[in-house]
Amino acid sequence: MDSTRSHARRKAGSVLLLLLGAIFAPLNPAAAAALGSVSVDGNAITLAFDTAVDGASGFLLDAPRRLAVDVAGLVPGAASASGGPIIQTRVGQVKPGIGRVVFDLSGPTVVRSASLSDDRKSLVLRLADASPRAFAAATRAGRTVYGGGSSSAGGATLVRTGLTVPLDEPKPYQLAIPPVAGRADKPLVVIDAGHGGHDPGSLSIDGKYREKDASLAIAKAVRNALLASGRVRVAMTRSDDRFLVLSERREIARRLHADLFISIHCDSAPGSNASGATVYTLSEVSSDRVAAKLAAKENKADILNGVNLDKQSNDVSSILIDLTQRETMNTSSRFADLLQRELTDQRVDFKTTYHRFAGLAVLKAPDVPAVLLETGYMSSPEDLRLLFSKDYQHRLAVGVTHAVEAHFARRLGRTDIAMKD
């Protein structure tokens, strides 16, 4: 009997593999399709391909909210679009024969319907606003196949596929805390290499170079330079090609009681001549929202490192959080100015002569000074060459190290000479 069940399971698995293969098998593997354009009209997204594609599927991701669309037979192109619920569009290669288009969403949004044209040269996705609960349910539902039959209107119908398997009992989520290098009596700097894993970040115009690779190489160069100085301890949110949600990155810094958090990214602006580095710190509007949300949390024992707010009212908690956040923001802004000064001394060009403010998720820890450094533009051929060059990475590392040294010398009320002990 057991052998009969085992044979049936193997047969069912083989059938499933054949079905999935049929969905994504290239109809004409020699003819790779390029993404000619992406357009957003209200809640409708249209993907136009220069030749027929062999099928498509999509799934939703949270923290941050994204819609990922995998297209069989697609090679990356330079197409980009925004508008409506779409903040920005990124295109990459998942594996040979499968291209991925990622849409960053401004809020909880689901795919209401999808249609693939008869000639398979365009895919239209119609989105709809959803409640956070409905969006969470849609993310758990997994992948949806777009296609699989013609409707009376001539488009492709939406087909859902699934496989039920037994799961182990759920376990509490454990945040992986990275190791810390350096002397225990030194301040701690956490370096965050942006993106990673299935999230490539911005891509070069030809799709060959990925932001996640450049940000990791630069982050490692900065880590090595900081450790060589001997004046700080250093930890990295990721030291390999792994995916971390944005809240995990800042939470790592908080769990480690970091004295400074530096997130490293590369910018992108297809179709423009934008180039140069940019430094961001948290905006005041975003900090107000953070304080209000944190004050309303049920468990307030660990909102601020070393301060237990459990017995405080929401009004008092909000004031204490706001005061802490303001001081953190001021410290972040002063470091941003130092960073721009020291990087300029290392012949790093900036897009503007001042740092910018934004409500970026990685900057929202209320008790850890933080900056996000955009080191250049993936969409600029000249910046792209620099981002992947050892010389530019070294100059960035030296500039960041000098800024960090000056920052802690000021904070500790010491001179640069004293820091050399």
Question: pLDDT digit string (tens) for 309-344?
Answer: 444 444 544 545 555 667 888 999 999 999 999 999
CATH architecture of 26-160: Sandwich (2.60)
pLDDT for 350 equals 96
Q: Do 26-160 and 188-419 come out as alike in CATH topology?
A: no
Instruction: Lay out the sheet containing 278-282: strands in order across.
Output: 233-236, 188-193, 260-267, 370-377, 278-282, 356-358
Angle at CA of residue 352, ends 346 and 357, nearest 5°: 110
- Give Cα separations from 292 to 131, 189, 304, 315, 324 (angstroms): 21, 27, 14, 9, 13
- Give a three-class secondary structure readout of 98-109: EEEEEEEECCCE
Higher pLDDT, 400 or 113: 400
d(CA 47, CA 35): 7
- The domain limits of the chain are 26-160, 188-419
pLDDT for 6 equals 47
d(CA 338, CA 99): 41
The helix (run of H) or strand (run of E) holding residue 358 is: strand 356-358
CATH architecture of 188-419: 3-Layer(aba) Sandwich (3.40)
Rounded mean pLDDT, 94-121:
88
Rounded mean pLDDT, 156-165:
41
Report DSSP state, residue 9: H
Two tokens, residue 138: 């849609």
* Range ranked top by mean pLDDT from 82-96, 144-158, 161-175, 281-295: 82-96
Residues 6+ apart with CB under 8 A from 65: 104, 105, 106, 107, 108, 109, 135
d(CA 246, CA 259): 19
d(CA 341, CA 330): 17
Nearest to 235 by CA among 187, 183, 179, 175: 179
Cα 169 to its chain centre, rounded Å, is 29
Rounded mean pLDDT, 302-308:
43
pLDDT for 173 equals 57
In this structure, is the dihedral angle defined by the CA atoms of residues 177, 183, 187 and 189, taken in order, positive or negative?
Answer: negative
Give the 3-state secondary structure of residue 39: strand
Question: pLDDT digit string (tens) for 350-402?
Answer: 998 888 887 777 787 778 999 999 999 999 999 999 999 999 999 999 999 99
Instruction: Lay out the sheet containing 33-41: strands in order across.
Output: 74-75, 33-41, 44-49, 122-129, 109-116
Cα 75 to its chain centre, rounded Å, is 22
- Give Cα separations from 394 to 65, 188, 360 (angstroms): 34, 21, 26
